[in-house]
Structure 1
Amino acid sequence: MSQCADILIIGGGLSGAMLAVQLLRLPGQRKILIIEPRAELGRGEAYSAVELGHTLNGNAARMSVDPDNPDDLTQWLTEHIAAGGWPQSSEQQVPVCELFPPRGLFGVYVQQRLAEAREVGEQYGSTVEHICAEVIDLQTEAESVQVTLNDGQHIRGAYAVLATGMFPAARTPQKESSGLNAAALDPWAVAAMRQLDPLSTVLIIGSGLTMVDAVVSLEQAGHRGPIEVFSRHGLLPHVRRQPPAWVDFLAEDHSIRSPRQLLRELRRHCRDAIAQGIDWQAPLDTVRVHIARLWSQATDVQRRQFVRHVRPWWESHHHRSPPLSAQLVERLLGEGRLRIHAASFKGLEPCAEGGVHIRIRRRGEAETRVVQGAALINSSGIEYDWRRVARPLPQQLLARGLVQPGPLALGIAAAIDGAVLDENGQVANRLFAMGPPLRGMWWESTAVTDVALQAKALAARLGSEQG
């Protein structure tokens, strides 16, 4: 059994849904198939959360899925709240544009925008259909792309787009596994955490935003015991605030090209802001729109230096925590229930008496030690290296040489327009990628605004090919 389509979108989370929205809005008749194993489109890993405490880490004004209307989410939320939705929004006591919505609610917003785009597409004769399955293999041909699904079905399309989204380390099987995931609780599994002794000790690997989510999950599960967090640098995400506007110094000075130059100039502006009594986050927030350009023009040596020496501090300062979650973390730190340790995870240890034992090495120490807890949570973030992801499609694409690892093995390599590069560096004619798989190309390729811009550009590219 086989189907044919004009465009196959592999992955139906935010990336796939936003690409479909942009394609449906274009004049012309086209058949679009979105292949996504989840029952719902538009949610993916990030927006399938059901707990109200798991919120976006950006406020509404920063999270529009419409690149032509930065106030789109703010406008949608205003109408949604006025109609009686999300009554808990009043607890944040801020204007709608400064609200941090629950991730599950953001998924509803994405789904509604997709439903509206379907109606627009119908006027042009375009359709979009959800195939609830997983793509396990892909082959390119001269005039088409054929994918194989986990149910044995084959689907052919004139073009295919890898919109596979993120691979959270906590939920992604890896080729070389330490056994961590098998022994760990899902950071978002509140129901599973309710089975723990409320006063027991919980161990967490990683101290980024996933850890913040895990702490929220534990709180909502009624956990009241100690939480021990281990990460190599022991850095916590800063809280996201709403600083005033700052001069876009990167737009004014095009001599800043390397990561080192950027950091030197950024520090200077942050010092100037603090001296003026202005939040240091103001200068930092001007950098986002320039990240792709700066990263793409940097040399491999410069990129490697950035990842090795700067990345932990960049992540903690740039990828900030929503205020309510940050308040919880701050409170638990103050109570002494939550402790952050600069230490590397070295593996699991046998444990006959129940619970879990892990071996860690504290920063600055040569010897390792064993730490015991009742439960373990893997909050080590996102796995961007496709060579380590033990899922059928990434492994098949790499094995066939249809893709190659991106810069620094982050995602996969592609041309500027998203056309993927094969193992020989040849640009594909019919296979494209967008969103998190292009992390190595643009560094920040996961945020909503980045994905929305990519979706619009790629839709225009595919639309022109079909035209």
Structure 2
Amino acid sequence: MTDVVFRHADIVIIGGGLSGTLLAVQLLKQPHPRRIAIIEPRAELGRGEAYSATELGHTLNGNAARMSVDPDNADDLTQWLTQFIDNGGWPESAEQSLPVAELFPPRGIFGLYAQQRLAEARALGARFGSTAEHVRAEAVDLQTHDEHVEVTLSDGQRWSARQAVLATGMFPAARTAVKAPGGLNAAAIDPWDVQAMRGLDPQARVLIIGSGLTMVDAVVSLDRAGHRGPITVISRHGLWPHVRRQPPSWPDFLATASELRSPRELMAEVRSQCRQAMGEGVDWQAPLDTVRVHIARLWSQASERQKRQFVRHVRPWWESHHHRSPPPSDALLQKAIAEGRLTLQAACYQSAEGTTLTIRRRGESVPVQLQGDVLINSSGIEYDWRRVDKPLPRQLLACGLITPGPLALGLQADADGALIDADGVTAQRLFAMGPPLRGMWWESTAVTDVAAQAKRLAATLAQHA
């Protein structure tokens, strides 16, 4: 019998998008020699699903001042972007006529920024004897043992490491096979595939499922492709994302509000603060923006029942008010709405047959059909790993190494990111960060959230090692 040949690393990071890249950056900064393997099938690290976009119209939904990957320097992206523009990069930035800190850079350029920070960390790590190797394959199997973790890749490679981290990022519903009826993805086109959209009839009738930020990207893609026909958006609650503005500062009213425990109490206080702001002539987004730093604490304090109530009754309004559209994209949406080309129907999606949708409009009991020429799935992110039809999630769930997180949002873990298995045992060698911890902290996808998690997890891994 032939012995299995393993390659060895100190830490295997599964996923080389923003989450995995920022974790590698933090690990490389530590003055301890270690070998890091980053398992990522894409040709480039640092991009993942979110930052692989190539169209300039697909921008960040936060301005540069809000999107630093350095948890110790909030101005890091602003400083990098200033130099990038001064060196001739992104000449189109002049069209926004804003200070660099207030610019909304394209996501593709943000990917370059993350890659440069990784390159700098690699150079620093080399001085300590550390390396970070990009292993271009997909992880398909993982086993834990008392002294190590074994990871099998799609090309047959086997890796052994002291620790492994699931930094798998997001599973966009439009790009991820999910176990769901209706055949939606089989008939839909990719919201970000501008090249495919250029082959459409410019007057084609487009149906879009979902009205969040993925829908905004889809409308931008259609515009870039030259589409000028009617677009109908189907959304259960009929809400558009608000546009992100640059409001003035507002007192951190939650810093001393220790009595606020439930989501209902939080929402009542937020509404009160927003009304107070508007009464003083201040943008309502100002008090809302102070809430972010308290979200993880408030979410972790809430009971399971309160969390369920929040997801069922408050989540749609939270998403539309908090996850806002970048101004250039919103301007495009408003123009299409004013022209009558872009309309929104409050309805539940039921199934798809080709490009014909069966929906049930809000307030009605009888389903109806909508016929279009083109279908786009913009239903957002799939956080329930039981519905993600990919090898590693299937294997990890089947062998009980992971278990769904609160409300099936991501995975169950402790406060340090150590995963909890089906028997309730906390792993000593298997961790997660970023979107897989959505159920633990609610907001676990934004750049600043991921950057802060990367720093904390790097310190935890060093302690465990």
TM over 0.5: yes
Residue 266 of structure 1: SS of its match in structure 2?
A: helix
Q: Which residue of 2 aligns with 1:393?
A: 392
Q: Which residue of 1 aligns with 2:79?
A: 75
Check if 1:47 corresponds to 2:48. no
Letter in 1 for 2:267: L
Letter in 1 for 2:154: N
Instruction: Report how far residue 175 of structure 1 moved.
Output: 2.1
- How many residue pairs align between the two structures? 461
Check if 1:86 corresponds to 2:85. no
CA distance in 2, matches of 1:463, 1:422: 22
Q: Which residue of 2 aligns with 1:125?
A: 129
Check if 1:321 corresponds to 2:346. no
Letter in 2 for 1:385: D
CA distance in 1, matches of 2:177, 2:96: 37
Q: Which residue of 2 aligns with 1:4?
A: 8
Check if 1:267 corresponds to 2:259. no
| Alignment match of 1:112 (pick from 111, 116, 131) | 116
CA distance in 2, matches of 1:149, 1:33: 12
Q: Which residue of 2 aligns with 1:229?
A: 233
Q: Which residue of 2 aligns with 1:458?
A: 457
Check if 1:175 corresponds to 2:162. no
CA distance in 2, matches of 1:112, 1:323: 27
The within-5 A match list for 1:97-108 is: 97-108=101-112
The within-5 A match list for 1:36-435 is: 36-349=40-353, 356-435=355-434
Instruction: Report how far residue 252 of structure 1 moved.
Output: 1.8
Residue 143 of structure 1: SS of its match in structure 2?
A: coil
Letter in 1 for 2:390: R
For the Cα contact (< 8 Å) 2:349–2:359, is it kept in 1?
A: yes
Instruction: Report how far residue 322 of structure 1 moved.
Output: 0.1
Residue 252 of structure 1: SS of its match in structure 2?
A: coil
| CA offset digits 1:332-359 (Å, max 9, x no partner) | 001000000001111013x6xxxx2111
CA distance in 1, matches of 2:59, 2:26: 26
Residue 249 of structure 1: SS of its match in structure 2?
A: coil
Letter in 1 for 2:87: A
CA distance in 2, matches of 1:68, 1:317: 27
Residue 174 of structure 2: SS of its match in structure 1?
A: helix
Residue 250 of structure 1: SS of its match in structure 2?
A: coil
Q: Write out the 4+ residue segments of structure 1 that deviate beyond 4 Å after TM superposition.
A: none
Deviates more, 1:127-136 or 1:250-259: 250-259
Instruction: Report how far residue 424 of structure 1 moved.
Output: 1.3
Instruction: Report how far residue 71 of structure 1 moved.
Output: 0.1
CA distance in 2, matches of 1:275, 1:297: 31
Residue 70 of structure 1: SS of its match in structure 2?
A: coil
| CA offset digits 1:169-197 (Å, max 9, x no partner) | 00000123421001000000001111111
Query: Identity of paired residues, percent?
Result: 69
For the Cα contact (< 8 Å) 2:181–2:351, is it kept in 1?
A: no
CA distance in 2, matches of 1:122, 1:258: 48
CA distance in 2, matches of 1:78, 1:257: 42
Instruction: Report how far residue 152 of structure 1 moved.
Output: 1.4
Instruction: Report how far residue 221 of structure 1 moved.
Output: 0.2
Residue 254 of structure 2: SS of its match in structure 1?
A: helix
For the Cα contact (< 8 Å) 2:261–2:301, is it kept in 1?
A: yes
Instruction: Report how far residue 216 of structure 1 moved.
Output: 0.1
Check if 1:28 corresponds to 2:32. yes
Residue 302 of structure 1: SS of its match in structure 2?
A: helix
CA distance in 1, matches of 2:140, 2:451: 26
Residue 309 of structure 1: SS of its match in structure 2?
A: helix
CA-based RMSD of the aligned residues comes to 0.7
| CA offset digits 1:14-70 (Å, max 9, x no partner) | 000000000000011000000000010000000000000000000000000000000
Unpaired runs of at least 5, structure 2: none
Residue 132 of structure 2: SS of its match in structure 1?
A: strand
CA distance in 1, matches of 2:97, 2:384: 41
| CA offset digits 1:112-143 (Å, max 9, x no partner) | 00000001100100000000000001000000
For the Cα contact (< 8 Å) 2:37–2:133, is it kept in 1?
A: yes
CA distance in 1, matches of 2:26, 2:379: 33
Deviates more, 1:144-153 or 1:49-58: 144-153
| CA offset digits 1:182-228 (Å, max 9, x no partner) | 10000000011111110111000000000000000000000000000
Residue 408 of structure 1: SS of its match in structure 2?
A: helix
Instruction: Report how far residue 465 of structure 1 moved.
Output: 2.5
CA distance in 1, matches of 2:87, 2:202: 38
CA distance in 2, matches of 1:425, 1:239: 42
TM-score for both structures, normalised by structure 2: 0.98
Instruction: Report how far residue 156 of structure 1 moved.
Output: 0.6
CA distance in 1, matches of 2:426, 2:116: 35
Q: Which residue of 2 aligns with 1:445?
A: 444
CA distance in 2, matches of 1:257, 1:246: 21
Letter in 2 for 1:246: W
Residue 276 of structure 2: SS of its match in structure 1?
A: helix
CA distance in 2, matches of 1:253, 1:39: 47
Residue 345 of structure 1: SS of its match in structure 2?
A: strand
Residue 171 of structure 1: SS of its match in structure 2?
A: coil
